[in-house]
């Protein structure tokens, strides 16, 4: 690519680091469930002159001149996004998931009003009102957890909490929940208590787009999502809503919120991502993501691993490593030495800490994007098991790392090779 040749000449030091990261992404197995590989077509606008422009405002209502083509790009992205999810309103400007969530709070709540969301400890997100986050300081927050026995959402309990707490906003959505979410039931609960329902579908946006996960659009007042996880787009986010909430959400994103000049190059990459997600082959990818996660789960269970909630319905798995007497940090580091990238993660009601939790979180989107299928998941489960059983055996970890490099080399990396 000509951009790379020019970077190599101007800044060889930085160029080398990017080449090393490319090699890392090629040689290792990326199993972090929130990561993926964007296509070359998605990556192209990110390295384009669209990055040079300022365009505060919205199409046709800008504060700067020179936005004739930027307006067309933003409208194209909005139209594609609305078509993808059959949504009434779409805002594609949020820089990432947390700013998108904040824009919704600013649009719908006054400071001090109450949010009911999933506890961080059960798989919720920091920006859903955690006390260490601004959302937990500007708003009153109350939480629901998963059921301690099933480790699944207990909708009757959530309804009871909602009736008692009378929140103005209920949030459905998670970063570490391996099961389908019943958005219809959340919608009923929100209507019963007169709350808005916000769904944060960041993790499952690609699965919803492909209709392999229940759709929140008919049930939620507003939906936020990131574009770079299962949706396989650029780093970024968007907001969908019922049309009557559109003007107040637009005002909250700009000028009311925590961002100003839109990232026009990213908006264009989002337009490409939505185009790709509208193609029939995207459904095949999403179906395979779910099949691959299910096989990985089954094979690990057959080897004696305890999966939180007993399995997975989506793209991610949480393994409780207490029966193996390994903490999540040690496990993630040993797997990294063997070329398998996961993240340490708390499990529900974890006696450990965020730094040294009891579990690891892994998922299938990125390896699926490389074309891996059920047979490859079986091989990956076998390596994970060998590493976890022998995590102190450096020689074995190095042997597996070499096997992983050889194995990965037969699967092209989207964005680099295909
Ligand atoms: N960092 C994302 C994840 O890994 O789930 C959420 O913000």
Q: Give per-residue pLDDT as tens, 260-312.
A: 999 999 999 999 999 999 999 999 999 999 999 999 999 999 999 999 999 99
Choose, from 226, 227, 312, 368, the residue flagged as catalytic.
226
Q: State residue 4's pLDDT score.
A: 76
Backbone angles phi, psi at 35, to 5 degrees: -110, 160
Residue of 200, 221, 320, 350 marked catalytic:
200
Is-catalytic flag, 229? Answer: yes
Which DSSP symbol is given to 356? S
From CA 108, how far away is CA 94, in angstroms rounded? 16
> Tokens 């700067």 identify what position?
64
Q: Is 34 in the pocket of ligand 1 (CB under 6 A)?
A: yes
Give the per-residue pLDDT at 418: 83
DSSP structure string for 191-243: HHHT-EEEEE-TTTHHHHHTTSS---TTT-SEEEEESSSTT---S-EEEEE-G
CATH class belonging to 285-408: alpha beta
How far does residue 315's CA lie from ligand 1's centre (Å)? Answer: 13
SS3 for 284-313, per residue? HHHHHHHHHHHHHHHHHHHCCCEEHHHCCC
Four-residue CA torsion sign, 126, 132, 138, 142: positive
SS3 call for 385: helix
Atom of ligand 1 nearest to the CA of 126: 7
Whether the CB of 414 sits within 6 Å of ligand 1: no
Ligand 1 atom closest to the Cα of residue 32 is 4
Which residues in the chain show pLDDT less than 50? none
Neighbours of 258 (CB within 10 A): 15
Q: What's the gap in Å between 99 CA and the centre of ligand 1?
A: 13
Question: 360 and 328 in contact (C-beta within 8 Å)?
Answer: yes
97 Cβ below 6 A of ligand 1: yes
Distance CA 414, CA 37 (A): 6
* Domain 44-277 grouped into CATH 3.40.640.10: yes
Mean pLDDT of the chain: 97
Interatomic CA distance for residues 360 and 343, integer angstroms: 6
Catalytic option among 22, 56, 180, 385: 56
Q: What is the pLDDT of residue 2?
A: 66
Active site residue 141: no
- The catalytic residue among 54, 75, 287, 330 is 54
| Nearest Cα residue to atom 1 of ligand 1 | 34
Three-state SS for 11? Answer: coil
- Report the residue among 30, 102, 125, 174 best suited for mutation to probe ligand 1: largest number of ligand atoms under 8 A from its CB: 125
Q: What are the extents of the domains in the chain? A: 44-277, 285-408
CA distances (Å), origin 28, targets 23, 299, 334, 393: 8, 20, 13, 19
pLDDT at 258: 83
Closest CA to 341 of 390, 373, 387, 293: 387
Tell me if 224 CB under 6 Å of ligand 1.
no
> What is the structure's pLDDT at 113?
98
CA distance between the termini of the chain: 13
- Report whether residue 36 contacts ligand 1, using a CB cutoff of 6 Å: no
């Amino acid at each position: 690519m000509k951009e790379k040749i020019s970077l190599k000449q101007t800044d060889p030091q930085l160029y080398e680091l990017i080449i090393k990261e490319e090699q890392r992404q090629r040689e290792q197995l990326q199993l972090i469930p929130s990561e993926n590989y964007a296509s070359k077509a998605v990556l192209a606008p990110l390295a384009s002159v669209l990055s040079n422009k300022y365009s505060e405002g919205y199409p046709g209502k800008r504060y700067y001149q020179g936005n004739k083509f930027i307006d067309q790009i933003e409208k194209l992205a909005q139209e594609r996004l609305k078509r993808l999810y059959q949504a009434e309103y779409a805002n594609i400007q949020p820089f990432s998931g947390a700013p998108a969530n904040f824009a919704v709070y600013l649009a719908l709540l006054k400071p001090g009003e109450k949010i009911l969301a999933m506890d961080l400890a059960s798989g919720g997100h920091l920006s859903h009102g955690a006390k260490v986050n601004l959302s937990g300081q500007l708003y009153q927050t109350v939480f629901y957890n998963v059921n301690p026995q099933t480790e699944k959402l207990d909708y009757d309990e959530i309804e009871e909490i909602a009736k008692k707490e009378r929140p103005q906003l209920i949030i459905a959505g998670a970063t570490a929940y391996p099961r389908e979410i019943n958005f219809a039931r959340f919608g009923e609960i929100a209507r019963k208590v007169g709350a808005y329902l916000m769904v944060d579908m960041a993790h499952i946006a690609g699965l919803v787009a492909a209709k392999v996960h229940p759709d929140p659009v008919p049930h939620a007042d507003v939906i936020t999502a990131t574009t770079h996880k299962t949706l396989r787009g650029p780093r970024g986010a968007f907001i969908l809503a019922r049309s009557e909430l559109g003007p107040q959400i637009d005002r909250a994103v700009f000028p009311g919120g925590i961002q100003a000049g839109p990232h026009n190059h990213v908006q264009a990459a989002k337009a490409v991502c939505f185009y790709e997600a509208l193609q029939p082959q995207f459904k095949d990818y999403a179906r395979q993501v779910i099949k691959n996660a299910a096989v990985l789960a089954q094979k690990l269970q057959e080897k004696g691993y305890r999966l939180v909630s007993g399995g997975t319905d989506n793209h991610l798995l949480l393994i409780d490593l207490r029966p193996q007497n390994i903490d999540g940090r040690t496990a993630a580091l040993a797997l990294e030495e063997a070329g398998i990238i996961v993240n340490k993660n708390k499990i529900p009601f974890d006696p450990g800490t965020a730094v040294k939790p009891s579990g690891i979180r892994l998922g299938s989107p990125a390896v699926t994007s490389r074309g891996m299928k059920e047979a490859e998941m079986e091989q990956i489960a076998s390596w994970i098991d060998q590493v976890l059983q022998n995590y102190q055996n450096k020689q074995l970890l190095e042997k597996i790392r070499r096997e992983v490099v050889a194995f990965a080399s037969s699967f092209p990396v989207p964005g680099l090779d295909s």
